[in-house]
Amino acid sequence: MMQEQMIPDEDLNAFIDGELDPARAADIAAALAARPVLAARVAALRADKAQIARIYGRLAEEPLPAALGEAIARTTIRQQPQVRQRGWLRPAAWAIAAAAVLAALGWFGAPLLRSAPADRLVAEAIAARDGAERPAETLAGSTLPPPAARDQLLSAALKVPVKTPNLEKAGFALDAVGIYGDPQARRALELSYRDGRGRRFTVYLHGPTGADGFELRQSGATRICIWQNDDLSAVMVGEMSSEEILRVASLTYADLNF
């Protein structure tokens, strides 16, 4: 009988999706019946897929934005030994496609290729978030503009029309805006949000640093989502699960109107 340690998660995912040949599927089915620990692994993978479907299934009819679709199509995933590339990036919807990239990160354990401009942008965002880079101006509390005036503030600072992300559906409210750079030039902004548990989610907005791109990163408990196009770059950072930051980042993406 097939040993549990000889069945990679990639094959288990293919078994769940019905993508294996009948002989291989029968072997895995027999192993599941005989090994409760292996069956538990499959149950956990099924639960992950079901959670993604619950979160993003309602968006399945929405079109994939061109910039994001092209960026995902250009993404290269470094394959591990014995890992076969499958159709994770089917463009049924933009959120489903982004979730597929996330799935590849988690299930294959292979990082997305990174660029030097993206690395510098992430370093700036983390420095702003951690207070290592001080803003020229901070708007919070009574100095935070009302919602009707926030779009104008962002658009003027970034020199491009943008809408302030409304993340109430995800349980986050705008807490502060940090403004960086020379007032006479295109500036950078950090939008800081907090939820009812005091968790912080930040959006660092900057001028474009390269070609259109989409990337997900993880550093310990911190998840980082990067989106950029010809007009704007956004780095979204939060200490939350991969599924949650993808959901919150998707709401951010939609309001910024990339």
The CATH number of the domain holding residue 181 is 3.30.200.100
Number of alpha helices (DSSP H) and beta strands (DSSP E) in the chain: 8, 7
Q: Give the position of tokens 């998840």.
A: 223
Residue with tokens 């499959």: 42
Task: Write down which residue in 74, 108, 142 finishes a domain.
Answer: 108
Q: Which string of b and e fits 148-173 if b means at least 16 CB within 10 Å?
A: eebeebbeebbebebebbbbeebebe
pLDDT at 137 over 50: yes
pLDDT surpassing 90 at residue 127:
yes
Strands 200-206 and 233-239: antiparallel
pLDDT (tens digit per residue) in 151-174: 999 998 888 898 999 999 889 999
pLDDT computed for residue 80 by the predictor: 35
**160 and 96 co-located in one domain:** no
- Judge whether 97 and 72 are in contact, CB under 8 Å: yes
Q: Over range 223-249, report the average pLDDT.
A: 87
246 has a pLDDT exceeding 60: yes
| First-to-final CA distance of the chain | 51
Compute the distance between CA of residue 118 and CA of residue 32 in angstroms, rounded to an integer.
43
135 & 250 share domain: yes
Residues 6+ apart with CB under 8 A from 154: 162, 163, 164, 189, 205
Q: Based on the fold, state whether residues 131 and 103 are members of the same structural domain.
A: no
| End position of a domain, from candidates 92, 108, 124 | 108
**Whole-angstrom Cα distance, residue 230 to residue 131?**
28
Closest listed residue to residue 172, CA positions, set 200, 144, 208: 200
Inter-CA distances, 93 with 59, 100, 190, 221, 224, Å: 6, 10, 28, 27, 21
* pTM (predicted TM-score): 0.60
Buried residues in 203-221 as b, exposed as e (16+ CB within 10 A): bbbbbbbeebbbbbbeeee
Q: Does the structure show a pLDDT above 50 at 42?
A: yes
Q: Are residues 231 and 177 in the same domain?
A: yes
Check residue 228 and give its pLDDT. Answer: 82
96 and 133 within one domain: no
Q: What's the number of domains the chain is made of?
A: 2
Other Cβ atoms within 10 Å of 144 Cβ, number: 16
Cα separation, 74 vs 212, whole angstroms: 10
Q: Is the pLDDT of residue 115 over 90?
A: no
**Do 68 and 142 have their domain in common?**
no
Domain boundary among 108, 136, 158: 108
Domain span at 148: 116-256
